[in-house]
Every structure is written in C-alpha cells, then in structure tokens.
Amino acid sequence: MTKKEHLLISAKKLFSSQGYDKTSIREIARDAQVNSSMISYYYGGKEGLLVGLFDYYFPEYEEDTKGYTTSLETLEATLRSVIKLREIDTELVDLLHSELLLRSPRLELIKPSIQRTWKRIYEQLKACQEAGIINVLSIDTAYLYLLAGISFPYHNETFHINSDMLTLDETFVDQLIQMLMKGLK
C-alpha cells in the first residue's frame, strides 16, 4: 500500500470518528505513519485530502449495473448498491452524513464525487419513464422520493423506535426496493 493510500485510510477513519474540523493534519499523518508534509505534497492540504478521499472511495456503481437488460433492473441495482454502501463503508457514509447534517461548506468540494451516482439514478429514472415502465407526473419529485428512501437506512438509529429490530440485511433491502418501485409504478 502506498503512502497516499495510507493517508486516505487514516483521514477517512479520523474524519468519520472525530469530525473534519476536529482532526488535524498531524493526527492524520501520525496515524498513517508518514510525514505531515506528504498531505500537502499529494493533496495540497486538508481539503484536498477530503476531496481525494471521496474521489477514491465513493463508488460509481457502473460495475453493479452491468448485465441488466431493462432500465428498471438497472435502477433497482443502483439503488440496492447505494443502500448497501452503509454496510460496505460505514466510515465514508458517516463522514458524508456529518458533512450533510452540518451543511458544511466542504460539500461543494465533494459534490462532484457523489453527484455521479445521483445523476445516474436521475438518468435511469428518465429511461424508465421514457420506456413506459414507470408512471410519474414529475421525474424531479420521483427522484427526491428515491433519494429520501435510499437515505433512510443511514439514519435508522436516529428515527426508528426500536433500532435493534431494523438491520440492513437482504430482506430489509429487498423490501425497501420493492416499496420504492411500487411507489414509482
């Protein structure tokens, strides 16, 4: 593993556990076991490191949707992958959601990395509408409906009355996808 990758791993871990503002460049470098000047060298500073982190770790889901024959299957596969990201990379998701909840000015920096996925979902919705698979009055409203639905699992512990009962297992993901798709049809 390269020094650059060590820095990304350490930054993700520390930003998600302590918050971006409370994490120093020195702490990241110490955790990554590299000289702190490497952050400036590779990423231009702390903000560049944050951007690099999302560019490197935020999935594009292109591979997850290969092999599907209909636009609806492709949309379902993308939604499933976004929901499952919570399990796959909790640190990245926690960091993203803390930045969202804080309405951080850094969101503008990481937007390009995450908007690739949201744009893909929007385009898949349009393809479903054009193919007559879904019947919605507004693609924009349907898009917001899907974003709310797939974001919910990330806030499970906050909103669910009994958070021990709800897990992101296959059954839950299947049921959520079913409900979202029924809402579009």
Question: What pLDDT digit, counting tens, does each position of 130-167 carry?
Answer: 999 998 999 999 999 888 888 765 555 565 556 555 56
d(CA 78, CA 72): 10
| pLDDT attached to residue 124 | 92
What region does 61 belong to: left with phi over 0, alpha with psi -120 to 50, or beta?
left
| pLDDT attached to residue 153 | 58
Q: How far is CA 140 from the centre of its chain?
A: 20
pLDDT tens track for 92-126: 988 988 888 888 999 999 999 888 888 989 999 99
d(CA 42, CA 45): 8
> How many CA atoms lie less than 13 Å away from 185 in the CB half-sphere?
8
